[in-house]
Structure 1
Amino acid sequence: MKNRNAKRILAAGAAAVLAVGLTACGGKENKADDKTITVAASPTPHAEILEAAKDLLKEKGYTLEIKEFDDYPQQNVVVDEGEFDANYFQHQPYLDNFNEEKGSDLVSAAKIHYEPLGIYPGASKDLENIKDGAKIAVPNDATNEARALLLLEENGIITLKEDAGLNATKKDVEENPHNIEIVELDAAQIARVVEELDFVVLNGNYALDAGFNVQTDAIAKEEADSEAAQTYANIIAVKKENKDSEKIKALVEVLQSEEIGKFITDTYEGAVVPMK
């Protein structure tokens, strides 16, 4: 009987030691130091660029795991909650808006690429002779709507209030000589209604998903050397305390490398532009 009790005590002790060991190995406190990098990303072009980075990261001793998301906000949620090390889908103004709304403290680890926003033809083709009452779809999230409206203003379609800037909404339209109707839609839905509206303003990734190239299909676009290129550069977003971890430094170094820059340039032909 004593031997049985002794064995039980030893077994319990061993289990406890094993549990402590597993906790130490798998606990969140060591996640920033492990050799697996988990990234949430939009399918195009972000996940594609990350796929191209896998072998380069492997050479540095890291395994890159990518999960694709169609939902913008959820990609920030999973990083904020510690489920993923980073995400790759957004620009800084979008992240700032998310942090303000959700009370989170995500930060940019680096700028990787820029996707020029474009105006694409739908039922109408001539932007210079736009018809009265034309319908134009724009993204309905705060930062991208302002960006779309600024692009419409640059092309003489509307005039915004002087101080609207990056906070512009359609309520800030001061002059609308053609009485156009601005249709606010979720960015992911706009490409699906191209034929139903006169024109649409598309984010670069959704344009690519729909088979459009901003260089050849857009009738107006943001220029690569514009202020927008810096303001709306797509970033790697992380929790603030993980920004300087070795794994994030390795991820950034690879994504900003000449090899990935060449992949972006060759693959997307100007629809996606690597940041210098």
Structure 2
Amino acid sequence: MKKKSLLGGIILSASLFLAACGSTGSTTASSEAVSSAATEPTTVKIGLVSESAVSIWQAVADRLQKQNIDLEIVKFTDYNQPNIALQNGDIDLNAFQHIAFLDNYNANNNADLTPIGFTFVSPLGIYSDKYTDYKEIKDGDTIAIPNDVTNGGRALLLLQAIDLIKLDNATGTTPTVSDIVENPKNLNIQELDAAQLPRSLQDVGAAVINTNFAVDAGLVPTKDALYLDTENIQKVLDIYKNVIAARAEDVDNAVYKKVVAEYQTEETKALIAETTKNTDIPAW
């Protein structure tokens, strides 16, 4: 009986030893897994439109790597897709639009996309391959403007500011071509996709072009534009400040706040000045 008891004790001790070894190995493997997970970068997808924006945000992405954030840039070719992609969850943030454009999208698409940080005010300018002064625009000329409601409305307000047309005062910030009440030069207002406007210059008297597309086309807004609406910055409404947008449920996301903070730096201000030839104005 004593021998049996001793043998049982040896077997039990061996079993405990093996169990302990197995437990240590499991704990070590678990710790390594936790450590690996902790160092895995958080991926954030941001939707952009223009090449100039891509170059600025790439610098932001490089800096965010130090905070273990992998900012993945998704480039779109027009203004229609980034909000759809954000609403559908294909991207996490976008940065291409002003508040007026965002509000219009939300109203028409039952969406709740929300600004989480300002970027800049980008002027809208009128350009021409035919004229060096907007006062040279002739009777019957075609003037191309963006075909979306907010940028098209802003373009019409620009044309009114330089006395080419007069709008119904009741239209507010989003007038349409049908709101033109005076057109002394009988201008033909042609609405085109914003991305196509630089290419239209050879075919029209003048075109009102968003700065990002003008810069991408090799134009220098402060040099080449016949007029920029930011020349009278007091008349450029806050609704034309560009923003970083997220879905409403993500407005307090700590990682997204870090993305905003890393954008809103002196380094970014310098890049905006360099990339847009001192045209865009930081708005934070």
Q: Structure 2 length as normaliser, TM-score?
A: 0.82
Secondary structure of 1:132's counterpart equals coil
Which amino acid is the alignment partner of residue 88 of structure 1? Answer: A
Matches within 5 A, 1:62-101: 62-101=69-108
1:194 is the counterpart of 2:191: no
Match of 1:207 among 198, 209, 214: 214
- Report the identity percentage: 36
Shift of 1:123: 2.9
| Equivalent residue number for residue 254 of structure 1 | 262
Match of 1:240 among 230, 248, 251: 248
1:142 is the counterpart of 2:149: yes
Larger radius of gyration: 2
Query: Contact 2:150 / 2:174 at 8 angstroms: preserved in 1?
Result: yes
| Equivalent residue number for residue 228 of structure 1 | 236
Match of 1:105 among 109, 112, 134: 112
Distance in structure 1 (CA, Å) of the matches to 2:181 and 2:95: 35
Match of 2:134 among 127, 139, 151: 127
Distance in structure 1 (CA, Å) of the matches to 2:51 and 2:120: 12
| Equivalent residue number for residue 278 of structure 2 | 270
Q: Could you say what the CA RMSD is over the residues aligned between the two structures, in angstroms?
A: 1.8
Distance in structure 1 (CA, Å) of the matches to 2:152 and 2:50: 21
Matches within 5 A, 1:25-64: 35-64=42-71
Q: Mind listing any 5+ residue stretches in structure 2 that lack a counterpart? A: 1-40
Distance in structure 2 (CA, Å) of the matches to 1:121 and 1:222: 16
| Equivalent residue number for residue 160 of structure 1 | 167
Secondary structure of 1:271's counterpart equals coil
Which amino acid is the alignment partner of residue 274 of structure 1? Answer: P
Secondary structure of 1:63's counterpart equals strand
| Equivalent residue number for residue 13 of structure 2 | none
Pairs aligned (count): 245
Q: Mind listing any 5+ residue stretches in structure 1 that lack a counterpart? A: 1-33
Shift of 1:229: 5.9
Match of 1:175 among 182, 202, 205: 182
Query: Contact 1:122 / 1:200 at 8 angstroms: preserved in 2?
Result: no
Q: Deviations over 1:170-195 (max 9, x none)?
A: 11111111111111111111111101
Q: Structure 1 length as normaliser, TM-score?
A: 0.84
